[in-house]
Amino acid sequence: YTEAENSYTEALSVCPAYYQKDRSILYSNRAAARMKQENKEEAIADCTKAIELNPNYIRAILRRAELYEKTEKLEEALQDYKTVIEKDPSVGQAREACM
């Protein structure tokens, strides 16, 4: 996962800023690699950046919600889960989490 994190960091350094959706995916993927390494705060920051670049990126919002849960930021997690449901009511994980 360290190698993956480094690869995404390198990709972000060369990907032009105007490719917002691509950069959003790179940030979200780097967040996943960081999450696997238990670097939760850095992963949350990456998810937040991914969401800023693409506010409709469900996977990044869901990933950040999971990270918020793991860091006991339950209000933030609930807000992200609600956001996911608003954008896509079919996401069962978000519905279950809200219950």
Q: pLDDT tens for residues 49-74?
A: 999 999 999 999 999 999 999 999 99
The CATH number covering residue 72 comes to 1.25.40.10
pLDDT band, very low/low/confident/very high, at 99 (cuts 50, 70, 90): confident
Return the pLDDT at 88.
94
Query: Each residue of 11-31: pLDDT tens digit?
Result: 999 999 999 999 999 999 999
Q: Which domain holds residue 77?
A: 2-98
The CA angle 65-98-74, to the nearest 5 degrees, is 45
